[in-house]
Amino acid sequence: MSSYYFTIIGTRDNPLYEVEFSSFKPSSSSSSSAISSSSAGSNQPHIPGKSQFTPKVREILPFIANSSLDIIEDSQWSTNQFNLGRIDSFYGLLVNAFITQGNIKFILCYDNPSNASSSQKYDENLIRQFFIDVNDLYVKCLLNPFYSVNDAIISSDFDLKVKLLARKYL
């Protein structure tokens, strides 16, 4: 099972929204990696949707996302695509990014227990579609007259819809 950390970063490099979750799809390999497995002393069962990052990794996830901002800002000028794809990897985590028309950045950090190139290509398409659908949700959030750009997104409806999209695609 892959674990994911998704964050939305504003134009002032401030976090607007963040969430951790795991894949709801069954894993093809039962091997456990250092990142996605629970602590060595406990044999907790996997709960679908609950992140399986270790506490050490969980602490550095915002820093990994923040460190990728420079790469995102460099990459945005070399392509005309909103989906920047896989831009970085750090500590066994892969980092994908998407940039909106308003320069808001979507960052997805995740571990990938499967190493088959065909499944990675499939995952890239699913991640791209996840970003596109979350972008639609974000645009709807911007249409709210009580929301200002760069404010934290605290809507429980937004959170639920992002999690439903994660369940659908990831």
Render pLDDT for 138-152 as a digit per residue (tens, 0 to 9): 999 999 999 999 999
pLDDT tens digits for 56-107? Answer: 888 889 999 999 999 999 998 888 899 999 999 888 899 999 999 999 999 9
Cα 65–chain centre separation: 9
| The pLDDT of residue 42 is above 50 | no
Task: Give the gyration radius of the chain's Cα atoms.
Answer: 16
| The pLDDT of residue 10 is above 90 | yes
pTM of the shown model: 0.81
Q: How confident is the model at residue 44 (pLDDT cuts 50, 70, 90)?
A: low
Residue ranges of domains in the chain, CATH in brackets: 3-169 (3.30.450.70)
Q: How far apart are CA 57 and CA 129, in angstroms?
A: 26
By the 8 A CB rule, do 151 and 17 touch? no
